[in-house]
């Protein structure tokens, strides 16, 4: 498209030069992805644009899935006032993609435009869909307050059962999704009836294990979804399950409730409240998909790790399965039972070393490792133990030492024979580099991990890579991409029934949404996560959530509460060996005290830092300069800030520059303490 032209369709004009969608002279959206997607569809009119091209164009160099496109199309339809029934502007072409469904023309961009108004709905929150992971260690990276997925298993290979995959593909569930029954007295939400219906149908249709009855067939049969019964609908459409949904407003927050009914008359009914309709629908889809999609089974061939005691082997196998599923309490019980039956069972002890590392019992984990190193080890056993040592160093805050072991393992002849193990090691190195702030180095490592997983036929590895890429995007303050990747990873975990790991993904989405301004919902979610972590015996997760509650108080500018929560977290962390979480709590508490002007308490906390703790985000990297400023030396504080800029080089962002400007301003004031730094 030439720069001097733009597209027109219906009442809309698309101005790419200024990134805006205009209706009757009023800007209704200046969302970059919405405008670019519409431009792509208009350029190809009247032909359809396939999802692969949309992914390449709208998410270049990013790992996203078809679900991202479906969610974006739904948001565009909402902006256009379109819906999934009429599809007046954008048509879903089954098996091909999407195309403009109204005449498109090019014209001169000489249009009178009123000042920009907030777009009708340009909340491009989450987009989703993927495959999933198993044997893994989730390391909580305090350096950016995020979780990194790392691996410890030596050769517990996971793969999908081919027979199950064939069964799912050959005998898919047939599902009918009904129009949404709206109980909201608002014209603003008229689109929900067919728009959410189409969104849910499109996203569920991505799974090969289920078959969605075409939306137009359902609409033709069900003019009133409030009175439709399973026999009425599925008796004629031949479906095995029916999804009915209701939309309402709960204290002005959108609520969507689904009822899932099958041929036995059994039903499941759950309501979901979100910050907007898309958010509510997304939360609903997560649970709905988990109840509709047959879970893929990860096969764990452990026979070559068994002892001579069959009863001990049974407990050991169950314990390893529970460990990889994130059910840490049950895993500990079964592994201990295996050791009671066979005290010298190497692999039961090895996986207990893994488990105690995961739960933050680093001293106990190190004791297991030291004991196991006393015997003559096979290549597989030596690799497993070395990997745990790397993870323990990581948890102790010795990130470079941990990374050195991982990089050495990547060239270990035993490791290089197995693409799955190589994938795990590249995943570890990528997440470690991210934690150290080496973001440009992290991405190639994670991409390499994905290549090895593909070579190993290990589709679930994509979920782990997606999760860690989310961490990288979060470090780069690309919050939308971060949430997008965490949502996709969470789908993977749910699909495989990995409830413990799904908690981690939920946690990351919550804390990332905090940075997007969703304070109240995030605080409630963190409190729920704390309870869930406690029930799962996951101290790392629980302590990280406590730290994040302090962060919520910071965002609310309730610095006294933030300092109190950070101190409480440190008191709880004193009982653990989780140095990186202690360091994170120290930084949160110190920053809160600095915002209160209390340099003494802030400095006292900072002297307690252990090991290496690096966070290049603007909210943390200036803390020493801030301390200098609050102590009254504005000139030295400014010099420290400039030194950071030089050191960070290309990692310096506009957000960092904004904080630097505040230090410049403070240096010109007579009383530096009177100008608190906001970062």
CA–CA distance from 352 to each of 306, 319, 361, 379 (Å)? 15, 9, 11, 19
CA–CA distance from 369 to each of 315, 350, 382 (Å)? 21, 7, 10
**49 SS3 class:** strand
Cα 262 to Cα 175: distance, rounded to the nearest angstrom: 9
Cα 551 to Cα 563: distance, rounded to the nearest angstrom: 10
Q: Minimum mean pLDDT among 64-68, 569-573, 613-617, 653-657: which range? A: 64-68
Q: Is residue 400 part of a domain?
A: no
- How far is C-alpha 285 from the geometric centre of its chain's CA atoms? 15
Same domain, yes or no: 177 and 286: yes
Q: Provide the pLDDT for residue 51.
A: 81
Q: Provide the pLDDT for residue 574.
A: 87
Q: Is residue 497 part of a domain?
A: no
Q: Is the pLDDT of residue 126 over 60?
A: no
Q: Provide the pLDDT for residue 164.
A: 33
Q: What is the pLDDT of residues 68-101, one digit of tens each?
A: 677 788 778 878 877 555 678 888 876 678 899 8
What is the CATH number for 242?
3.40.50.10610
Q: Is the pLDDT of residue 156 over 70?
A: no
How much of the chain, in percent, has pLDDT values that exceed 70?
A: 81
Q: Is the pLDDT of residue 600 over 50?
A: yes
Same domain, yes or no: 573 and 668: no
Residue whose structure tokens are 């294990």:
209
Q: Is residue 652 part of a domain?
A: yes
Average pLDDT for residues 386-395, to the nearest whole number? 88
Cα 499 to Cα 326: distance, rounded to the nearest angstrom: 7
Q: Is the pLDDT of residue 1 over 60?
A: no
Positive or negative, the Cα torsion across 617, 621, 625, 631? Answer: positive
Considering 210-214, 254-258, 288-292, 569-573, the range whose residues carry the highest mean pLDDT is: 569-573
- How far is C-alpha 432 from the geometric centre of its chain's CA atoms? 18
582 CB-side CA count, 13 A: 21
Same domain, yes or no: 610 and 521: yes
Q: Is the pLDDT of residue 158 over 50?
A: no
- 66 falls in which pLDDT band (50, 70, 90)? low
Q: Give the DSSP letter string of 195-239.
A: HHHHHHHHHHTT-TTEEEPPHHHHHHH-S-TTS--HHHHHHHH--
Q: Is residue 428 part of a domain?
A: no
285 CB-side CA count, 13 A: 29
The verdict on whether omega for the bond into residue 46 sits within 30 degrees of 0, i.e. cis, is: yes
Q: Of 66, 29, 81, 147, give the one whose Cα is nearest residue 395.
A: 147
Answer whether 346's CB lies under 8 Å from 309's CB. Answer: no
57 CB-side CA count, 13 A: 18
609: number of Cβ within 10 Å: 15
Q: Provide the pLDDT for residue 108.
A: 57
Q: Provide the pLDDT for residue 504.
A: 86
**605 SS3 class:** helix
Considering 15-19, 612-616, 675-679, the range whose residues carry the highest mean pLDDT is: 15-19
Q: Give the DSSP letter string of 378-440.
A: -HHHHHHHHHHHHHHHHHTT-HHHHHHHHHHHHT-HHHHT-HHHHHHHHHHHHHHHHHTT-HH
Q: Is residue 243 part of a domain?
A: yes
Q: Provide the pLDDT for residue 88.
A: 80
Answer whether 434's CB lies under 8 Å from 399's CB. Answer: no
Cα 150 to Cα 222: distance, rounded to the nearest angstrom: 48
Q: Provide the pLDDT for residue 352.
A: 94
Residue 19 DSSP class: T
Same domain, yes or no: 285 and 182: yes
Q: Among 56, 87, 107, which residue terminates a domain?
A: 107
Q: Of 248, 150, 244, give the one whose Cα is nearest residue 201.
A: 244
Q: Dihedrals φ, ψ of 254, to 5°?
A: -70, 135
Q: Of 295, 182, 192, 201, give the one whose Cα is nearest residue 242.
A: 201
Same domain, yes or no: 568 and 647: no
Q: Provide the pLDDT for residue 672.
A: 44
What is the CATH number for 60?
1.10.10.10
Positive or negative, the Cα torsion across 164, 168, 169, 171? Answer: positive
Same domain, yes or no: 552 and 581: yes
Q: How many domains does the chain have?
A: 4
Q: Provide the pLDDT for residue 388.
A: 92
Q: Is the pLDDT of residue 284 over 70?
A: yes
Cβ-count burial of 170 within 10 angstroms (0-12 exposed, 13-18 middle, 19+ buried)?
A: exposed
- 153 falls in which pLDDT band (50, 70, 90)? very low
Q: Provide the pLDDT for residue 242.
A: 93
Q: Is the pLDDT of residue 176 over 70?
A: yes
Q: Among 292, 323, 341, which residue terminates a domain?
A: 292
Cα 130 to Cα 208: distance, rounded to the nearest angstrom: 12
Q: Is residue 470 part of a domain?
A: no
608: number of Cβ within 10 Å: 13
Q: Minimum mean pLDDT among 117-126, 402-411, 430-439: which range? A: 117-126
Same domain, yes or no: 602 and 626: no
Average pLDDT for residues 251-276, to the nearest whole number? 79
Answer whether 563's CB lies under 8 Å from 596's CB. Answer: yes
Structure tokens that stand for 591 in this block:
């920053």
CA–CA distance from 574 to each of 206, 230, 275, 547 (Å)? 47, 56, 37, 13
Answer whether 349's CB lies under 8 Å from 368's CB. Answer: yes
Structure tokens that stand for 388 in this block:
């745990």
Q: Is the pLDDT of residue 28 over 90?
A: no
Q: Is the pLDDT of residue 146 over 90?
A: no
Residue 423's beta-bridge partner residues?
Answer: none
Considering 106-120, 204-218, 500-514, the range whose residues carry the highest mean pLDDT is: 500-514
Same domain, yes or no: 636 and 604: no
Cα separation of the two ends of the chain: 41
- 142 falls in which pLDDT band (50, 70, 90)? very low
Average pLDDT, the chain: 79
Positive or negative, the Cα torsion across 527, 577, 315, 305? Answer: positive
Strands 173-182 and 241-250: parallel
Q: Minimum mean pLDDT among 99-113, 409-423, 643-657: which range? A: 99-113
Q: Is residue 570 part of a domain?
A: yes
Residue whose structure tokens are 């959108």:
254
Answer whether 105's CB lies under 8 Å from 5's CB. Answer: no
Cα 96 to Cα 74: distance, rounded to the nearest angstrom: 17
Q: Provide the pLDDT for residue 382.
A: 93
Same domain, yes or no: 580 and 635: no
- 148 falls in which pLDDT band (50, 70, 90)? low
Q: What b/e readout covers 384-393, taking b as 16+ CB neighbours within 10 angstroms?
A: bbbbbbbbbb
Cβ-count burial of 145 within 10 angstroms (0-12 exposed, 13-18 middle, 19+ buried)?
A: buried
Q: Is residue 507 part of a domain?
A: no
Same domain, yes or no: 610 and 658: no
Q: Which domain range does residue 653 map to?
A: 619-679
Q: Provide the pLDDT for residue 127.
A: 24
Q: Is the pLDDT of residue 558 over 90?
A: yes
Q: Of 157, 178, 193, give the one whose Cα is nearest residue 78.
A: 193
Q: Among 107, 130, 145, which residue terminates a domain?
A: 107
Q: Is the pLDDT of residue 107 over 60?
A: yes
Average pLDDT for residues 48-76, to the nearest whole number? 76
Answer whether 131's CB lies under 8 Å from 30's CB. Answer: no
- 139 falls in which pLDDT band (50, 70, 90)? very low
As a whole number of Å, the CA-based R_g of the chain is: 27
Q: Is the pLDDT of residue 492 over 50?
A: yes
Cβ within 8 Å of residue 581, ≥6 positions away: 140, 142, 540, 543, 544, 547, 569, 573
Q: Give the DSSP letter string of 395-411.
A: HTT-HHHHHHHHHHHHT
Same domain, yes or no: 100 and 78: yes
Answer whether 156's CB lies under 8 Å from 300's CB. Answer: yes
* Pairwise pLDDT comparison (189 vs 611), residue with the higher score: 189
Answer whether 13's CB lies under 8 Å from 2's CB. Answer: no
Average pLDDT for residues 584-589, to the nearest whole number? 92
Same domain, yes or no: 172 and 83: no
Q: How many residues does the chain have?
A: 679
What is the CATH number for 523?
1.25.40.10
∠ CA 87-93-97, nearest 5°, is 110
Answer whether 257's CB lies under 8 Å from 274's CB. Answer: no
How much of the chain, in percent, has pLDDT values that exceed 90?
A: 27
Q: Provide the pLDDT for residue 199.
A: 84
Task: Note if the pTM is more than 0.95.
Answer: no
CA–CA distance from 668 to each of 310, 638, 658, 673 (Å)? 76, 10, 16, 12
Q: What is the pLDDT of residues 191-234, one digit of tens each?
A: 888 888 988 888 787 666 778 998 888 988 887 788 888 888 99
Q: Provide the pLDDT for residue 134.
A: 24
């Amino acid at each position: 498209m030439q720069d001097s032209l733009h597209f027109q369709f219906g009442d809309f004009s698309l101005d790419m030069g200024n990134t805006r969608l205009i209706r009757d002279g009023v800007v209704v959206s200046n969302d970059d992805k919405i405008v670019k997607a519409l431009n792509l569809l208009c350029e190809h009119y009247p032909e359809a644009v396939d999802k692969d091209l949309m992914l390449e164009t709208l998410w270049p160099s990013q790992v996203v899935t078809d679900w991202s496109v479906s969610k974006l199309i739904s948001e565009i339809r909402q902006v256009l006032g379109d819906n999934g029934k009429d599809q007046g502007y954008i048509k879903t072409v089954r098996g091909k993609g999407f195309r403009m469904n109204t005449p498109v023309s090019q014209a001169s961009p000489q249009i009178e435009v009123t000042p920009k108004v907030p777009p009708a709905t340009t909340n491009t929150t989450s987009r989703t869909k993927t495959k999933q992971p198993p044997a893994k260690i989730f390391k909580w990276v305090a350096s950016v307050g995020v979780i990194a997925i790392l691996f410890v298993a030596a050769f517990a290979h996971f793969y999908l059962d081919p027979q199950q995959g064939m069964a799912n593909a050959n005998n898919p569930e047939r599902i009918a999704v009904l129009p949404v029954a709206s109980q909201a007295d608002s014209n603003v939400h008229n689109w929900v009836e067919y728009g959410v219906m189409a969104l849910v149908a499109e996203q569920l249709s991505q799974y090969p294990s289920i078959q969605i009855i075409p939306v137009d067939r359902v609409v033709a049969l069900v003019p009133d979804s409030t009175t439709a019964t399973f026999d009425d609908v599925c008796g004629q459409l031949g479906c095995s399950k029916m999804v009915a949904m209701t939309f309402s407003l709960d204290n002005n927050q959108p609520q969507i409730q689904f009822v899932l009914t099958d041929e036995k008359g059994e039903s499941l009914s759950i309501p979901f409240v979100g910050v907007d309709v898309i958010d509510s629908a997304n939360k609903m889809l997560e649970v709905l998909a988990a109840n509709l999609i047959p879970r893929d089974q990860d096969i764990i061939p452990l026979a070559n790790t068994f002892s001579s005691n069959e009863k001990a082997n049974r407990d050991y196998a169950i314990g390893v399965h529970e460990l990889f599923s994130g059910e840490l309490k049950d895993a500990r019980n079964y592994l201990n039972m295996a050791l009671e039956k066979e005290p010298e069972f190497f692999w039961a002890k090895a996986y207990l070393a893994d488990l105690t590392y995961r739960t933050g019992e680093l001293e106990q984990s190190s004791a297991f490792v030291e004991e196991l190193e006393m015997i003559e080890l096979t290549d597989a056993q030596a690799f497993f133990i070395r990997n745990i040592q790397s993870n323990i160093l990581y948890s102790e805050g010795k990130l470079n030492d941990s990374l050195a072991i991982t990089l050495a393992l990547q060239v270990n002849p035993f490791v290089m024979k197995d693409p799955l193990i190589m994938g795990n090691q590249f995943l570890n190195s990528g997440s470690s580099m991210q934690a150290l702030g080496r973001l440009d180095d992290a991405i190639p490592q994670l991409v390499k991990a994905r290549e090895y997983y593909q070579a190993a036929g290990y589709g679930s590895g994509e979920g782990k890579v997606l999760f860690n890429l989310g961490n990288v995007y979060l470090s780069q303050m690309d919050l939308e991409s971060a949430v997008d990747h965490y949502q996709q990873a969470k789908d993977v975990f749910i699909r495989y029934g990995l409830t413990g790991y799904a908690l981690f993904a939920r946690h990351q989405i919550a804390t990332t949404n905090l940075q997007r301004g969703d304070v109240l919902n995030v605080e409630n979610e963190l409190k729920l996560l704390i309870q869930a972590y406690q029930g799962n015996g996951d101290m790392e997760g629980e302590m990280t959530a406590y730290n994040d509650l302090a962060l919520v108080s910071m965002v609310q500018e309730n610095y006294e509460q933030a300092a109190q929560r950070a101190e409480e977290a440190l008191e709880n962390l004193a009982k653990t060996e989780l140095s990186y979480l202690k360091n994170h709590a120290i930084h949160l508490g110190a920053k809160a005290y600095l915002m209160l002007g209390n340099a003494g308490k802030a400095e006292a906390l900072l002297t307690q830092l252990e090991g290496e703790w690096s966070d290049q985000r603007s909210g943390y990297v200036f803390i020493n300069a801030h301390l200098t400023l609050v102590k009254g030396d504005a000139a030295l504080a400014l010099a420290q800030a400039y030194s950071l800029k030089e050191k960070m080089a290309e990692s310096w962002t506009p957000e960092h520059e904004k904080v630097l400007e505040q230090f410049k301003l403070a240096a010109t004031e007579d009383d530096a303490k009177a100008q608190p730094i906001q970062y």
